Structure 1
């Protein structure tokens, strides 16, 4: 029986490219595509994929890791492979903590992605050799938890506000976009700054940039 794959990425060209290649691989069937976190959950519940290829950076305050955690709460039998451009150990540890079973760079050859899909389907965790070394070193030094990004402590609403503020939206503009009061935005911003241990807007921008959260739609 073929491995059923759902591709989740906010760029249609990326989804089409991955699908075109995987459609030529025996034993793998792409059953659908999704462009963001919400549609991912909906499509997964409808199509029942075995594997979800999940982009890391997505819009609307639901990045790939948040979506992975949410998906696995509803469908724990599904396996998620994070497919990303970020070769960063912070993202790697966050991916593993969210429940992902694999972490593959978009720059990797398609043969590696196919290998990851097959290994994860068999119940294994797939990491590139360099990533495996990072995980082992972190475990030996007892600092894997320290490497997990504080961003995951934010609520979904706080993530939405954080992303908009980082992109330069004013409190009034954020309030209008999210249909909430300016006072509510200010309160959320205070909570965000406290949770992320940030002191000013410059630090907030740096935090967002380092974590790849400033990808404009």
Structure 2
């Protein structure tokens, strides 16, 4: 199993704020998973835990059988929802930074993806639009050859035409050995690429399962089904 989340709870400030409440699930290889839920549901916290940047308050997370942390980061590529570049950097500097920092980084692939997205390598990053910064970030993420890719709200500022290219990029980077978890609020536009979906609400998992099963057995889109789940939860 690529990823195991076992009875994980995460709180902040002497248990006054519970971000995740005793959640468990496992993820096999070769999957694209949607991580959905309203703002504050715990999506970002979960991705940071899996990436090994924070530790659970209770429970454990295993990646390739190892406890998530410094030693598992070589198996995980994480794209946060914040800008991760220094203001002085040019696009080419960001590519060089990733090359120096990650042994699994493919420089030629990065230049190819950046070129296809029409981003000038000589341009200063602080002069790029937020959408182009996201496209650059996604290009660098998928220029790594690793096991698990985590994307936190990657499409919020990307124009519709570029989204199609990014969907293609995601699909091209999935394989029998790799999985991708995408946190998003834009469910209707991206659900067609999801194999599975995790629905978080107030730190709990309301649903985790196959999107194909939702469509075949419920006769609903993923977005419609999750609205029904939430309606029943609040009834």
The structure with the greater share of residues assigned to strand is 2
TM-score band by shorter chain is 0.3 to 0.5
Normalised TM-score (structure 1): 0.35
The structure with the greater share of residues assigned to helix is 1
| Structure ranking higher on relative contact order (CA contacts 8 Å, 6+ apart) | 2
